[in-house]
Amino acid sequence: MPTRPNPFRLALTHLILLACAGLTVMPVVLVLAASLRKGSTLISTRLFPGMDELSLAKYHELLTQTPFLTWMLNTVIVSVVASLIALVVTALAGYAFARFRFLGRKNGLMAMMLLQMFPAAMAMVAVFRLLQYLGAATGGVLGLNSLLGLSLVYIGAGIPFNTWMIKGYVDALPRELEESATIDGATPTQTFLLVVLPLMGPILAVVAIFNFIAPYSDFIFPSVVMFEESKYTLAVGMQSFISGNFSTNWTLFAAASILGAIPILVLFFALQRFLVEGLTRGALKG
């Protein structure tokens, strides 16, 4: 590592970094600019609206004259339900794999790893058929066009990865507290609920956020499973803005992009350190 920086190389470094940063933010800036226009079309010879053209009219139109808020609510319901159920079942399973020794433990962990390899989208036809059956069996509570049914799709796909993450975290927790709780007469379930669970906070937050972001960001399953406009998630709803005629809805779509991205953007940056660690730790083990 050079002890004294070469000023030319340093300047060149900044030049390259700035150019790349510019290209990175460019699409977002262009869309943000489009969302602040009054007009509805893509057609304009000016890239950025002048000060006199700036307006929040598109945001107003989006919130009052389109089902955007319904789609947002649908998306949040699906994501929260998927996230909470995944959290409860994988916290239990991850803890069991980390702390108990039992017949089938190793095979169970291996099976989880193998199941993780099946791309969720591979089963889209089967998921569609199963939801059809479930809908008939439950009178529509869980079937096609049901928010609850859609959230089920995500829970299954995420269980193996999340269980492994939680197991890894609990493996690294010291056992002394649990042992002294046991000596003090706590039952295993009390030990789990009162001693270990509070210590699992950080990893549970990560799992909850992963399992919120994944359904929120998915397009493929809601597009297969949701047919009614009132049941669309953001991904499918926003696509319906542009699939007809992009040029007439561009500014409206731009406003939807900004509002739709904000919740995930905020979560991501607030918890960036945890998320990045969680995602890259496994990858960097080698």
Partner 1 sequence: MRERNSGGLPYLYLAPALLLLALLSLLPNLYSVWLAFTNYSLNHYSDYSFVGLRNFARILQGPEAATFGRVFAWTVVWAGASVLLSLGLGLFLAILLNNAHVKGRTFYRTIFILPWAIPAFISVMMWQGLLNTEFGAINLLLANLGLDQALATIVGLFTNEPVATPIAWLNTPGWSHIAVLAVNVWLAFPFQLTTCLGALQSVPSDVYEAASVDGATAGLQFRRITVPLLRSALLPVLLSSFAFNFNQFAAIYLLTAGGPAVPGSEAGATDILITYSYKLAFNLFQYGMACAYAIFIFILVATLSGVNFKLTGAFEDAN
Name which of residues 152 to 171 contact partner 1 (CB under 8 A): 152-153, 155-157, 159-160, 163-164, 168
What phi and psi values does residue 175 have, to the nearest 5 degrees? -90, -10
- Residues 56-85 touching partner 1, rule: CB under 8 A, are 85
Contact 58, 254 (CB under 8 A): yes
The single residue among 24, 65, 174, 198 that binds partner 1, judged by CB under 8 A, is 24
Angstrom distance (rounded) from CA 48 to CA 30: 8
61 half-sphere exposure, CB direction, 13 A CA radius: 18
* 227 belongs to the binding site for partner 1 (CB under 8 A): no
In the three-class reduction of DSSP (H, G, I as helix; E, B as strand; rest coil), residue 207 is classed as helix
- Residues 101-120 touching partner 1, rule: CB under 8 A, are 101-102, 105-106, 108-110, 112-113, 115-119
Closest CA to 91 of 175, 205, 187, 215: 205
Q: Could you tell me the smallest distance in angstroms from the CB atom of residue 4 to partner 1?
A: 9
Contact 97, 104 (CB under 8 A): no
Angstrom distance (rounded) from CA 286 to CA 282: 8
- Alpha helices by DSSP H, 172-200: 176-183, 188-190, 197-199
Q: Could you tell me the smallest distance in angstroms from the CB atom of residue 155 to partner 1?
A: 6
Q: Could you tell me the smallest distance in angstroms from the CB atom of residue 203 to partner 1?
A: 15
Q: Could you tell me the smallest distance in angstroms from the CB atom of residue 104 to partner 1?
A: 9
The single residue among 57, 123, 186, 208 that binds partner 1, judged by CB under 8 A, is 123
Stretch that binds partner 1, among 58-66, 92-100, 140-148, 203-211 (CB under 8 A): 92-100
* CA 90 to chain CA centroid, nearest Å: 17
Q: Give the number of residues in contact with partner 1, rule: CB under 8 A.
A: 109
Angstrom distance (rounded) from CA 245 to CA 40: 11
Closest CA to 218 of 202, 204, 238: 238
Q: Could you tell me the smallest distance in angstroms from the CB atom of residue 164 to partner 1?
A: 8
The single residue among 56, 122, 137, 177 that binds partner 1, judged by CB under 8 A, is 122
Structure tokens at 67: 């089902």
When the beta carbons of 140 and 188 are compared against partner 1, the nearer one is 188
The single residue among 38, 41, 54, 136 that binds partner 1, judged by CB under 8 A, is 41
* 197 belongs to the binding site for partner 1 (CB under 8 A): no
Q: Could you tell me the smallest distance in angstroms from the CB atom of residue 55 to partner 1?
A: 18
The single residue among 56, 217, 227, 229 that binds partner 1, judged by CB under 8 A, is 217
Contact 145, 227 (CB under 8 A): yes
* 21 belongs to the binding site for partner 1 (CB under 8 A): yes
